[in-house]
Chains A and B, each alone.
Chain A
């Protein structure tokens, strides 16, 4: 019995003898989506579930996130896992500013999405108060399958985006609304 490896399907295009014609957006989207290097911004309990996701049982590396980067300049997606307090918010913003385009943000957990259980004076009620967020993964903490699902949703987003999202007006407006 042969085990064929499960590789990602190619995008739609015209196949010929030694050539494959497709849209640039699709190819670049495919490449970006299957090689998202995360920056794990793990602050609390969701960080431990992220460790479980990166470990061998749920293995996020299968989805292209083989190399976790702790340097913002070398990361594609910022995964904010855990409660962000108001003391931490400027630091989160600085990390986001340092990331170069294209960059995406996943808010993992209830605390990052909206403040979670902690409706207090010291907790930021959701990281979308300081940075734009692409995917929200709810849960307290979310199961590793949910985190993987969030990454897969992000992959769908990335595949279908234009190559130069950063030049679109919508995006510029979004960043301007955050004073970035």
Chain B
């Protein structure tokens, strides 16, 4: 057990020996350990504290490192989708669709409009659920448990919609190369309509609980501010960057999957503090709802997947009766599909920012190198700077406002 205790030659121990405050008190070390009720996931921060104020922090991550990039080098393209689910597991459809878009970019496949609009709907739904969790957990961390329970009920409704589409609740494994695996049922659209009616009411109530709440404002305004310049330097993207005032959104900068057909605003904050990040996420939920409504209104008829028999499994009835379909099925499953040798970088706007996939292929059925540009990993570096000088309870609030998801952090 002693190997987990702080070694005396740790640099913090030396700092403590050498500094002493004017009133004789000395600094102390606090281990905000990997298992902690308030950290959302397992990452450790060793804090050097002066009473209640944090002087310095040393983060340690990697407690849930599952070697995704190494696994991806040994799996065919359609099996990597299962891995992408488990990165940002609060909004797994976004990761899934991002991976399929990367593969379609590699194989130069044109996805039909209907599938693109359906992808937009499911990605925006996932973004709503991601922001829902983040904001309600931020409420829990400031002491307000009710908002969480109330709004989580709607996450259950979204889970039901995912079940209608793909069968799973959380780790959805949705979609295929070129589109979707099956047409969305009537039930899915009905549930979506019911959701679009009921959720805005609940979200308005949730906002009312927090946005003008004196206690919440005291806990979050001017806490964990980051300037726009620093935000860019530290590689922040997504709502954290937009809270600091920069309106970089991959959906607007490099639109994918027909995002250019929809009209939506990109909300930005002013001071980059926790309150601004909270409000930016709130506003993004409203924008996502509007995008879903636009997509449903303009949803075109047509096939739900591209006509690429080389990569898209034929329906099972045809496999049993039609020779060509049998051959395609065999080739896809055994991995004899034509894969070009290429180098692709594709980015989408995930729940936390720019989620990028850097793919190098060498013609075989598995990638040669797949690197995930994970937004959480990159912006968590800024956390150390953000908490210097704040109190311990502020550090917890800042952490939950950054929406660090351990699966994406370590991958």
B-contact 0/1 string along A13-39, CB 8 Å cutoff: 000000000000000000000000000
- A interface size (C-beta, 8 A): 32
Asked if A88 CB lies within 8 Å of chain B CBs, one says yes
Q: Is the CB of A45 within 8 A of B67?
A: no
Q: Is B66 an interface residue (CB 8 A)?
A: yes
**How many A-B contacts are there with CB distance less than 8 Å?**
92
User: What 0/1 pattern do residues 151 to 183 of B give for CB contact below 8 A with A?
Assistant: 011011001000000000111000000000000
A157 within 8 A of partner (CB): no
B243 to chain A, nearest CB (A): 24
Also in contact, A87 and B35, with CB within 8 A (given A43-B42, A118-B71): no
Judged by a CB distance under 8 angstroms, whether B201 is at the interface is: no
**Residues in B neighbouring A120, C-beta threshold 8 A:** 66-67, 70-71
CA distance A48 to B35 in the complex (A): 16
Q: Which of A89-97, A129-137, A159-167, A171-179 lies on the face that meets chain B?
A: A89-97
User: B103-145 toward A: CB 8 Å interface, digit per residue (1/0)?
Assistant: 0000000000000000000000000000001000000000000
Instruction: Show 20 residue pairs from A and B whose CB-CB distance is below 8 angstroms, ordered by the A residue.
Output: A41-B35, A43-B41, A44-B41, A44-B407, A47-B41, A52-B156, A55-B149, A56-B153, A70-B37, A88-B42, A88-B63, A90-B3, A90-B4, A91-B63, A94-B1, A95-B35, A97-B1, A118-B71, A121-B67, A123-B67
| Cβ-closest 4 pairs across A and B | A70-B37, A45-B89, A120-B67, A55-B152
Interface residues of A in 35-76 (CB under 8 A from B): 41, 43-45, 47-49, 51-52, 55-57, 70
Question: In which size bucket is the chain B interface?
Answer: 35 or more
A149: shortest Cβ distance to chain B, in Å? 16
CA A121 to CA B35, docked complex, whole Å: 22
B63 touches A85 (CB 8 A): yes
Q: Are A117 and B406 in contact (CB under 8 A)?
A: no
Given A55-B149, A82-B64, A90-B3, 11 more contacts at CB 8 Å?
A45-B85, A45-B170, A56-B152, A85-B64, A87-B63, A88-B42, A117-B82, A117-B86, A118-B71, A122-B67, A141-B171
Please state if B66 and A140 are interface contacts (CB–CB under 8 Å). Answer: no
Any B CB within 8 A of the CB of A143: yes
Report the Cα distance A45→B171, complex, angstroms. 8
Query: Are the CB atoms of B169 and A143 closer together than 8 Å?
Result: yes
Asked whether, in the complex, the Cβ of B153 is within 8 Å of the Cβ of A57, the reply is: yes
User: Main SS of chain A's interface residues?
Assistant: loop
B contact set with A: CB distance below 8 Å:
1, 3-4, 33-37, 41-42, 62-67, 70-71, 82-83, 85-86, 89-90, 133, 148-149, 152-153, 155-156, 159, 169-171, 406-407
Provide the residues of chain B in CB contact with A97, threshold 8 Å. 1
User: Once the chains bind, are B65 and A87 in contact (CB under 8 Å)?
Assistant: yes
Q: Are A85's CB and B171's CB within 8 A?
A: no
**Which B residue sits closest to A82, measured CB to CB?**
B64
Contact present for A70 and B36 (CB under 8 Å): yes
Q: A43-B41, A118-B71 are in contact. Are A55 and B66 (CB under 8 A)?
A: no
**Interface core residue of B3, B86, B148, B153 (most chain A CB under 10 Å):** B86
Cα–Cα, bound, A164→B36 (Å)? 31
Given A85-B66, A91-B63, A52-B155 contact (CB < 8 Å) = yes
| Chain A interface (Cβ < 8 Å from any Cβ of B) | 41, 43-45, 47-49, 51-52, 55-57, 70, 82-83, 85, 87-88, 90-91, 94-95, 97, 117-118, 120-123, 140-141, 143
- Out of A47, A90, A118, name the residue touching B67 (CB < 8 Å): A118
Residues of A within 8 A of B71 (CB): 118, 120
State in angstroms the CA–CA spacing of A57 and B9 once bound together: 50
- Bound-state Cα–Cα, A82 to B3, Å: 25
What is the bound-complex CA distance between A44 and B156, given in angstroms?
18
B65 close to A85 (CB less than 8 A): yes
Q: B residues within 8 A CB of A43?
A: 41-42, 63-64, 406
Distance from A93 Cβ to chain B, minimum over Cβ atoms (Å): 9
A57 to B197, alpha carbons, bound, how many Å? 20
Q: Which residues of B contact A82 (CB under 8 A)?
A: 64
Smallest CB separation, A72 vs chain B (Å): 9
